[in-house]
Amino acid sequence: MAKPANYFYDSKIHIITQWCKGCGICTLLCKNNVLTLDSRKKAVVANPAACTACGHCENHCPDIAIRVSRPAAKSNARIPVAPVS
């Protein structure tokens, strides 16, 4: 099973609602049900923790209304701690 994007990145999904025409392509492509259409038929992020940052919604949005930001990967390296004297 794929790990959520927030395991690797501090990812965020941004939807520009003014650009969204409510076609629903993003909701159909997202297998994790991260996106849904609200009462105005605009895409909204309903379950951000389930996002794997795959980018399908961003790549297929005909209105370019979705952005998935993927900052640098989190490091699993331990930070050395100086001994206290």
**What residues does each domain of the chain span?**
5-69
Helix, strand, coil abundance in the chain, percent, nearest 5: 20, 15, 65
Amino acid identity for residue 77 in this structure: A
pLDDT digits (tens, 9 = 90+) for 26-42: 999 999 999 999 999 99
Q: How far apart are CA 30 and CA 53, in angstroms?
A: 10
pLDDT digits (tens, 9 = 90+) for 27-83: 999 999 999 999 999 999 999 888 888 899 999 999 999 999 876 655 555 555 666
- Which pLDDT score is estimated for 13? 87
CA dihedral 44, 50, 55, 58 (to 10 degrees): 0
CA angle, residues 23, 24, 28, in degrees to nearest 5: 145
Length of the chain, in residues? 85
As a CATH number, domain 5-69 is 3.30.70.20
